[in-house]
Amino acid sequence: MNGTPETSSSQTHNEQQSQQQQYQQQIPGNLTIAPRKNNVVIKVGMMGDSQIGKTSLMVKYVEGSFDEDYIQTLGVNFMEKTIAIRSTEITFSIWDLGGQREFINMLPLVCNDAIAILFMFDLSRKSTLNSVKEWYRQARGFNKTAIPFLIGTKYDYFAASPYEEQEEITKQARRFAKAMRAPLIFCSTSHSINVQKIFKIVVSKAFDLRCTIPRIEETGAPILEY
């Protein structure tokens, strides 16, 4: 009709088969094309006083290495690590803010769009725990929705201190964590204590997943409360 040619269904089918054969010839026989995975990015901010082990924790988690030589963070450090959970790839985008006060103007870089913020202190230096209040106040000015975590570092030094000191620090840290509504975790980068677990709990909190990591609550132990 009207001089318009019609394409038969058999012709269309034959063309499709021909195209499929051409594509198959271009794909090596030993290559399997896997279904594309979902990719999710979780931005994690890290902050606290200088020389408390923020960069060490980040490098340990991402690269699995620990360097005892201290190199001060000038401004902001940034690293990424991708893990797979079922059909989803999760990329941790970790931002580490230098602890010197002159870098406070870079706080928005670390806080903005962060899903979680690790407020960190050195378990062997009480003054760094006291500083968490101010770090928390400043961070909340830029991000009111990020999930807070209170992380005590250098547990290996802490474990060697007198029990009374351990008890005092643990009680104060628990008070802070309760006020912040934050998980409380003690870790040691040099001894690989609770490093992986911090980020597993970040994932569970970010996606509201059930976490089966056993809690640790005894004074003197590497606390893991969430």
Given a contact cutoff of 8 angstroms between Cβ atoms, the answer to whether 174 and 218 are in contact is: no
How far is Cα 34 from Cα 177, in angstroms, rounded to an integer?
Answer: 43
Taking the model in full, what pTM does it have? 0.81
Ranges of H-type helices in 142-207 = 155-158, 163-180, 195-206
Domains annotated for the chain, with CATH where assigned, are 38-225 (3.40.50.300)
pLDDT tens-digit series, residues 143-157: 999 999 999 999 999
Percent of the chain with pLDDT over 70: 81
**Backbone angle region of 205, left / alpha / beta, with phi > 0 → left and psi within -120 to 50 → alpha:** alpha
Which among 206, 153, 225 is positioned nearest to 44, based on CA atoms? Answer: 206
How many CB atoms within 10 Å of residue 55?
21
